[in-house]
Amino acid sequence: MARTRYVRKLKELRQNVIDMGALTVRSVEDVLTAFELSDTALAERVIANDDAINNFDRKIEAQCMTLLALEQPMAKDLRMIATSLKMITDLERIGDFVVDIAEEIITMAKPIRIPVSASKFNELVADVKLMVVDSIETYASGNVQQARSFEARDDRIDFLFKSIVENMVNALAQSQCSTETVADVASLLFIIRYLERIADHAVNIGNRVCYMEEGDRRFLK
């Protein structure tokens, strides 16, 4: 096998992206735990952790640019680098949404109460969490079949999002709520909106993994 140094640098890049992904997954899990337990301290820690994700973003971008500038990567190598370059933006954005969620958690009354069907809400949370985990997993494993399932899973998440929003609006309209409750409901609306956006980024990652593995450019068109 020729170009051993180059191959090693590609491996390092890939490992860094996976590590950044793992870090992002941790943040998503932690913030959802903080939400569940109304744990403000944990939410604070999650916010503090975002720096680590941002640092990874800059470090990996530099690695990609170096490889592109010096090694003239081609074929799958080129696709892997391009995918990584785009994917870290998705991960970084997910990290930002996590921070936004954490900030909402801090402002909300404790314990957090959900004024609508908890089952849909819990399903949404679980689905989003799993999608993020799976997106990193497909990058690491190259499992294109799994990546292709993301669009359908996202449709389900979008459906849940819309129906929860509808339920909340109805709940607000029908009851005489206190100002605090209205503020909490607004925060909840933001949070599920952020979760829905996080799922969109996971879908992006899935599409880019398809491109990385098979050169499938359909998502660009």
Partner 1 sequence: MDIATKTSVEISVKSLNLWFGKFQALKNINIGIQKNQVTALIGPSGCGKSTFIKTLDRMNDLVDNVKITGEVVYQGRNILDSDTDVVELRKQIGMVFQKPNPFPKSIFDNVAYGPRVHGVRKKQNLNEVVERSLKAAALWEEVKDRLNESALRLSGGQQQRLCIARLLAVEPDVLLMDEPASALDPIATSKIEDLIYELKNDYTIIIVTHNMQQAGRVATNTAFFYLGELVEYAPTIDLFERPQDKRTEDYVTGKFG
Cα dihedral 73/77/78/84 (nearest 10): -130
Binding mask 139-178 for partner 1 (x = CB under 8 A): ----------------------------------------
Q: Which amino acid is at 141?
A: S
Cβ neighbour number for residue 91 with a 10 Å cutoff: 27
Stretch that binds partner 1, among 67-75, 87-95, 112-120, 158-166 (CB under 8 A): 67-75
Q: Phi, psi (5° rounding) for residue 106?
A: -65, -35
Binding residues for partner 1 restricted to 75-104, rule: CB under 8 A: 75-79
How many whole angstroms separate alpha carbon 198 and alpha carbon 200?
Answer: 5
How many whole angstroms separate alpha carbon 29 and alpha carbon 78?
Answer: 32
Stretch that binds partner 1, among 11-19, 66-74, 89-97, 187-195 (CB under 8 A): 66-74
DSSP label at residue 220: G
Stretch that binds partner 1, among 3-11, 36-44, 50-58, 197-205 (CB under 8 A): 3-11
Minimal distance, residue 74 CB to partner 1, in Å: 4
> Which residue, 67 or 185, has its beta carbon nearer to partner 1?
67
> Which residue, 4 or 145, has its beta carbon nearer to partner 1?
4
Enter the tokens of residue 8.
């090693």
Q: What angle do CA 197, 199, 202 make, to 5 degrees?
A: 120
Q: Phi, psi (5° rounding) for residue 101?
A: -60, -45
Minimal distance, residue 75 CB to partner 1, in Å: 5
Distance from chain centroid for Cα 23: 11
Stretch that binds partner 1, among 68-76, 106-114, 132-140, 154-162 (CB under 8 A): 68-76
CB 127 within 8 A of CB 199: yes
> Which residue, 6 or 190, has its beta carbon nearer to partner 1?
6
Task: Say whether residue 1 binds partner 1 (CB under 8 A).
Answer: yes
Candidates 66, 72, 89, 107: give the one binding partner 1 (CB under 8 A): 72
> Which residue, 78 or 183, has its beta carbon nearer to partner 1?
78
Question: Which residues of this chain interact with partner 1, rule CB under 8 A?
Answer: 1-3, 6-7, 72-79, 214-215
